[in-house]
Amino acid sequence: MERAKVAVAIALLRSKPIGISGEEYTRQLAEKYISTDLNWKHQYEQAESEILHLKQKLHILNTTRDVNHGGIEMPELLAESSQKLFPTPPSSGSMNQPKRIKHTEDVQSTLTQNTEFLHHVMNLITFSHKASVDKNLQAVAQESVFNSLRVLQNHFGKNTISWALQKGCVEGIVNLTEVAETSLQIDLKDKVTDLCGNIIHTLMSLKDNTYKSQENCVETLFMLGKCKSIEQVLVDKLIVAIKKHSGDLKQCTQQKTSLDANRFCNSYYLLKACELCLTRDRIDRMTASDKTLTCERLQDSLLHISDSFPLYAHLIWRICASLT
């Protein structure tokens, strides 16, 4: 293996253009390789999304046909979702736009169409009152949910997708899992858990002085917390993040290091998300030992920092009070 690496290095040095160092030439080749790799990955994901959208369109057309053949008037909401699934595609002139703009349009379009399809499926289940749905529809719905979660995981909090669309998609996923708890067997726990961790990380890293982005993160976490299968996991992740931030505050106090003002301001929204996710209904379903353990974990995080950060400590005590 070592000899092969040496041989490749020698071949690269022999092939480099005149007037450029070997290090610079190697760096350029690496950048080109990474760019090509990312481009192929994007093309593959885009092709996957286009196939999925064709499946979605086919199911919506079949649903419309079946309802009409049954002599039942299709509800306005169901008809609306079937008409809105595929917006007018961009003109061919848009192909000349920069790749980054085109990629943003692709991501927006993918998430928009997935969200509309999920709302269509939810309306269909609600309207038909079926205890179960067609296996093919179940497979496409699951694929749509997983595809949406992948897009959200890669782009949450970035400028590639509007906050309204991100929240609309999350709302569609949560509502669908609530309505279709028995008719759609979709295991979202692992993927939604990963997304929650990403949102918490994004929340603590934000530098938005208007705090609108922080509020959007809190609202999204609160919506995800409505999924009963992940509500406890989400609370656990929030508490872990709170304890980590408390540890950073303790280090600032003991070692007299500078405080990260952005992260300290964002911690308010972290605590707010935790308080919102611990709804009265959720607390009532917790065992006495779970409540005690949660309180102990939160209170332990305040050791040696409550005097220096009284407002932060007060917010944690308020969460503990709601549990007891």
Residues 198 and 147 in one domain: no
Residues 135 and 228 in one domain: no
Residues 143 and 227 in one domain: no
Domain that holds residue 63: 41-85+102-185
Positive or negative torsion for Cα 112, 115, 121, 124? negative
Residues 312 and 224 in one domain: yes
**For residues 120 and 133, is the Cβ–Cβ distance under 8 A?**
no
- Could you give the CA distance from residue 149 to residue 279 in angstroms, rounded to a whole number? 25
Last residue of a domain, one of 185, 201, 233: 185
178 within a domain of the structure (yes/no): yes
Task: Show Cβ contacts of residue 296 under 8 Å, excluding neighbours closer than 6 positions.
Answer: none
Residues 162 and 135 in one domain: yes
- pLDDT (tens place) for every residue of the chain, 324 residues total: 677 777 777 776 767 777 777 777 777 777 776 766 657 776 777 788 888 888 888 888 887 676 555 544 444 444 444 444 334 434 334 434 444 445 566 888 889 999 989 888 888 777 766 555 677 888 888 889 889 998 898 888 777 888 888 888 998 888 887 765 544 556 677 888 889 999 999 999 998 888 899 999 999 999 998 887 788 889 999 999 999 999 999 999 888 888 899 999 999 999 999 999 998 888 888 889 989 999 999 988 888 898 999 999 999 999 999 988
- Could you give the CA distance from residue 140 to residue 125 in angstroms, rounded to a whole number? 14
The residue type found at 156 is F
DSSP symbols for 159-225: TTS-HHHHHHHHHHHHHHHHHTTTT-----HHHHHHHHHHHHHHHHH---TT-HHHHHHHHHHHHHT
Residues 224 and 181 in one domain: no
- Residue 3 belongs to what H/E stretch? helix 2-15
Residues 156 and 207 in one domain: no
4 within a domain of the structure (yes/no): no
